Structure 1
């Protein structure tokens, strides 16, 4: 099938953090208005919307028509609205569908919107909502974290296995957390912006060995939106390719999604100027260095310790602070990742700007099948 070229012409994120006084719809509306303004279009120009949310059904009982409800005050009422729920990869799945709608020629303008409110008076409800993105038919042995997240238990088990094979990872995990917080210090939309040190990481509360509080992503509220349009001369951010894969036993979904993006774009890892990776915890980021080709197997820890993934490195990762410091508002996360890469290509990322980026890659993954993510989306953007 022949696909036409698509540009990202509107980019918006709300501040991420605790928004107890805001509704999901108000966060979504803020992101939509800002993205449309950035694209220079009005609600009447949009022909399709894709709305992303992961946890609202569990936390509030609002199911089935979340997008129609959240977007009812945005001027988008009446157009086709699709709802995506794909765990932590919901936002990038929404972007994938909006891109496909424009690339296929079905519409000329589409918007992907992601919004999430994870803060709840009963924190256990929030953890339960996140756990609903795991395969509930599997046993939890070795994965449960008392009073906390099954996912962090699974990541911790992976980190211990990695350390047994390649050596202690605690220093590298701290380095990931410190790097991402340093980037977030220059991101006005990030949840946590105060710089931290390795000592701060070590002093933070243990979660599941070797993970500590500052190496785990926080609960977050927030929204993000992207406008996709048929590409025109002068567009500064274009979609080279978007690939979406699902769990298959015996293979890494992250590796498969990234490899397919490289294959279809004709680019390789060394040609990527900035990455956004799914750092639900510091070990997740480290492991993905190897899965997307930044580092050779067993060399992920060295990549961050040598400064390769930080400012001035050859493979900067999570320049907006990532999930660890920007925050992980499930349904908005994938879109926030792409928003950051769009700003990098535009040259508007301020103090965290990467020098002359041309090709950038986001990998956003979600859900858990007991040994790997349930799904992963890789989106490769190029500068115009």
Structure 2
């Protein structure tokens, strides 16, 4: 199979934009993505598109993919809409990679979009709830925060994880997000702020939970046959892994990890021929602070049960052994469900291209993105690798 390369990626601002539509936000992300291609790209070169979205509020449930691509002038190409809850556009990127590696396309646009802030809080909670097990979780009154609160409580009981360690996730990600001009909550918070905030679902406080967000993001994946047209410093899609699991938390064997994340990561590491220690930075799915801690363990960055100590040690700060969520993560950057996975890829592209501004790491060569649907019913992991040696 041909190799797949990431040659461009971008996003809209993430936040609350009552004056915007999902079409206009997608256009912003799409145009930013085209502008990010080092040698430029003629839109006529795009062979197909894959678009991720949940459709919060019932928005354009039918043909939402063509609805945004025709708005930006991509007429006639095949367009597929992907819905895998919060992992929708992560899976869209995966499908773009598959299309390229299979030889069916040379240039594929993958993206995602979501509008979440123009409906009531009750409506948002409803649409978030359908990403879990409907009958026994949502209809019985369990919120998304409530599901992750159960996971946090279990992790605390089994491994001694503390509220202070959860709060370190918020402090780190807000510090990173304060340097990201696209972030919805682009401000710093203190450990005391995070620990003393109002309780949302015990033991999770407000600062342990990501916001609801409007936004869009895109990525361009191309084959080895055409990559030289677009860049002389290629970023290879070195590994891809995906997995699914039981949708309901109560149906799984563990509350203290996300088995689909581990399976997806194992597949991606094997394909890339690397180990967790080879990863310079990662964008992980921190919809709640406990989700980031579990991701450390599921992705192999630390041993099972050691995530709390790992965050406290500073290992995941920008100057740590593996920088996690330099974008600010879902916690600070925001979580527009259908756009989140592609937004993670945009951060990986910027870091590996040296275009991450004030958040730029020191010469990274390999990054990972980790996107989870629901509380773990689906997960997808990508590993991106800068092919040229740093300094060339």
TM value normalised by structure 2: 0.91
Q: Which residue pairs with 2:221 in the alignment?
A: 228
Q: Could you tell me whether the CA contact under 8 Å between 1:142 and 1:153 is conserved in 2?
A: no
Q: Which residue pairs with 1:378 in the alignment?
A: 381
1:256 aligns with 2:263: yes
1:127 aligns with 2:128: no
Matches within 5 A, 1:198-347: 198-231=191-224, 232-233=227-228, 234-247=232-245, 249-250=252-253, 252-347=259-354
Runs of 4+ in 1 over 2 A off after TM superposition: 137-144, 231-236, 248-251
Matches within 5 A, 1:329-368: 329-368=336-375
Q: Which residue pairs with 2:54 in the alignment?
A: 54
Distance change in 2, residues 1:132/1:141 (3 Å): closer
How many Å separate the matches in 2 of 1:142 and 1:225? 36
Q: Which residue pairs with 1:173 in the alignment?
A: 166
Distance change in 2, residues 1:265/1:293 (3 Å): same
Q: Which residue pairs with 1:191 in the alignment?
A: 184
Q: Deviation per CA, 1:201-245, whole angstroms, max 9, x where unpaired?
A: 123211011101111000000000001111335233110121221
Q: Could you tell me whether the CA contact under 8 Å between 1:17 and 1:221 is conserved in 2?
A: yes
How many Å separate the matches in 2 of 1:80 and 1:139? 36
1:98 aligns with 2:96: yes
Q: Which residue pairs with 2:149 in the alignment?
A: 156
Structure 1 unmatched runs, 5+: 145-149
SS of 1:77's equivalent in the other structure is: coil
How many Å separate the matches in 2 of 1:53 and 1:140? 20
SS of 2:71's equivalent in the other structure is: coil
How many Å separate the matches in 1 of 2:372 and 2:141? 19
How many Å separate the matches in 2 of 1:295 and 1:27? 37
1:78 aligns with 2:81: no
SS of 1:378's equivalent in the other structure is: strand
TM value normalised by structure 1: 0.93
RMSD of the TM alignment (CA)? 1.6
Q: Which residue pairs with 1:20 in the alignment?
A: 18
How many Å separate the matches in 2 of 1:143 and 1:349? 41
Could you tell me how far 1:158 is from its partner in structure 2?
Answer: 1.0
127-136 vs 319-328, greater mean Cα deviation: 127-136
Matches within 5 A, 1:1-12: 3-12=1-10
Could you tell me how far 1:343 is from its partner in structure 2?
Answer: 0.9
Q: Could you tell me whether the CA contact under 8 Å between 1:31 and 1:224 is conserved in 2?
A: yes
213-222 vs 66-75, greater mean Cα deviation: 66-75
SS of 2:14's equivalent in the other structure is: coil
SS of 1:51's equivalent in the other structure is: strand
Could you tell me how far 1:60 is from its partner in structure 2?
Answer: 3.8
Q: Which residue pairs with 1:147 in the alignment?
A: none
